């Protein structure tokens, strides 16, 4: 096995327990909110991955003092503003860093350049930029209109009424504007009202944003999912300490292992009171035959021995609310008793890669019959004789590598290309996976 690939043998069983890394969505939101707050914030359980390192490096470049307090702990000394009024920030392929920093720096009255890897420059940011320009922000595209890199300059900001912002491409645009709205309210002395245009996707991620803003002292007045108002005079204040719960999107792989490998698999770090929308994936796999035990800080997943050898029931589901965990569902479709449909997943097109194309291509390699469209994918699972071993391309997308590690409970193994791409959110993924999975060769007769 080389560093460029990892062969995974056919699996017979999965059981044991593991600890989730911190949530990426919560980690990068909390880091920025702590930076924009007055006072020091101790963050415990912070994800240690490429995306959070990008955010930490950017905040330090902007003049924030951030002390390392342990492996997953930092103390952010917030000042409510950025000391550096000029910076060139490389943000990799981290949308959870790029979009919120674009909004925050548009309010910061400095000169900034934001750029990333080539794929980041293919991910749209135009709807956010248009909304920011509507309040006077000076943002210029360095390349193609609507996409990074971006140049940001000082600006005279104003609020003339409700600010329209598109909600049907990425919820990160609304999250970004919400998080910086107190800065705009402070500079203009006005209430800031955001009016969502179109159907807002991925609503649970907006719920995370609103809950975390409230933790830092800013309560948003919400009218359904279309109108959000941040009162004049709002400002962030440190809560003193924040704990980052385990990543619910990453939990989906281990919930799936408990289902496919009978379990029990105990997933520590996220529980019944999680604020993350992807916890709903547990309910989805319950419908597929999993038994889930919900506890305060963990989930336990298993499958009854009496049905362990049966195919999973085919499904037709709308995954708009949990698009990341939906990728795990697409691989589970390989084990279904009929065609499976995943709907309302247009946001897959603008993620770390075009995930609809990538899933279509890689599932087909395994012997599945796959059809797809602008916002859907339909997977007809292979019969036993149709399964094919394959070299799975990962497209520099961490979730492609992790979800296809589940494609080993059929008659053949798979090879994952560029397994190191999991460093984006879960650097130790394959070590944890190996500790839980028993291969067919290892299973006692």
Name the residues annotated as catalytic. Answer: 324
Cα 392 to Cα 278, 316, 327, 396: the distances in Å are 25, 25, 14, 12
Crossing angle, helix 171-188 and helix 203-215, to 10 degrees?
Answer: 30
Q: CA–CA separation, 91 vs 338, rounded Å?
A: 42
Q: CA–CA separation, 311 vs 289, rounded Å?
A: 10
Q: CA–CA separation, 292 vs 303, rounded Å?
A: 9
| Cβ-contact 152, 111 below 8 angstroms | yes
- Strands 369-373, 390-392: pairing is unpaired
Give Dmax over CA atoms of the chain in angstroms: 73
Give 66-128 as a 3 state SS string. Answer: EEEEECCEEEEEEECCCCCCEEEEECCCCHHHHHHHHHHHHCCCCEEEEECCCCHHHCCCHHH
Distance of CA 390 to the CA centre of its chain: 27
């Amino acid at each position: 096995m080389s560093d460029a690939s990892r062969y995974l043998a056919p699996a017979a069983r999965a059981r044991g327990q593991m600890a989730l890394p911190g949530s990426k969505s919560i980690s990068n939101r909390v880091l920025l909110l702590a930076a924009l707050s007055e006072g020091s914030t101790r963050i415990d359980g912070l994800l240690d991955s490429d995306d959070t390192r990008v955010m930490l490096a950017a905040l330090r470049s902007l003049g924030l003092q951030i002390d390392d307090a342990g492996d997953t702990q930092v103390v952010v000394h917030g000042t409510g503003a950025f000391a550096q009024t000029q910076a060139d920030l490389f943000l990799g392929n981290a949308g959870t860093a790029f979009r919120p920093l674009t909004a925050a720096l548009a309010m910061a009255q400095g000169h900034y350049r934001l750029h990333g890897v080539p794929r980041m420059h293919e991910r749209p940011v135009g709807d956010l930029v248009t909304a920011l320009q509507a309040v006077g922000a000076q943002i210029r595209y360095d390349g193609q209109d609507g996409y990074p890199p971006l140049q940001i300059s000082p600006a005279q900001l104003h609020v003339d009424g409700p600010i329209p912002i598109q909600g049907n491409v990425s919820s990160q645009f609304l999250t970004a504007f919400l998080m910086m709205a107190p800065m705009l309210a402070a500079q203009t002395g006005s209430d800031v009202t955001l009016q969502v245009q179109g159907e807002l996707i991925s609503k649970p991620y907006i719920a995370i944003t609103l809950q975390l803003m409230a933790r830092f002292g800013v309560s948003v007045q919400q009218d359904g999912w279309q109108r959000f108002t941040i009162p004049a005079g709002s400002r962030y204040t440190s809560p003193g300490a924040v704990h980052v719960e385990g990543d619910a999107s990453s939990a989906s792989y281990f919930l799936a292992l408990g289902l496919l490998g009978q379990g029990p698999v105990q997933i520590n770090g996220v529980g019944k009171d999680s604020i993350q929308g992807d916890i709903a994936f547990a309910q989805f796999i319950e419908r597929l035959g999993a038994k889930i035990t919900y506890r305060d800080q963990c989930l336990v997943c298993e499958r009854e021995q009496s049905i362990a050898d049966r195919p999973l029931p085919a499904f037709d589901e709308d995954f708009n609310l949990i698009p990341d965990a939906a990728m795990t569902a697409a691989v589970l479709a390989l084990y279904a008793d009929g065609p499976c449909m995943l709907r309302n997943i247009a946001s897959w097109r603008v993620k770390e890669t075009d995930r609809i194309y990538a899933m279509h291509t890689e599932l087909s390699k395994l012997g599945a019959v796959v059809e797809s469209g602008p916002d859907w994918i339909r997977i007809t699972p292979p019969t036993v004789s149709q399964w094919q071993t394959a070299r799975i391309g990962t497209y520099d997308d961490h979730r492609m590598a992790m979800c296809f590690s589940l494609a080993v409970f059929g008659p053949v193994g798979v090879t994952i290309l560029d397994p190191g791409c999991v460093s984006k959110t879960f650097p130790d993924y394959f070590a944890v996976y190996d500790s839980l999975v028993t291969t067919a060769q290892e299973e006692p007769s």
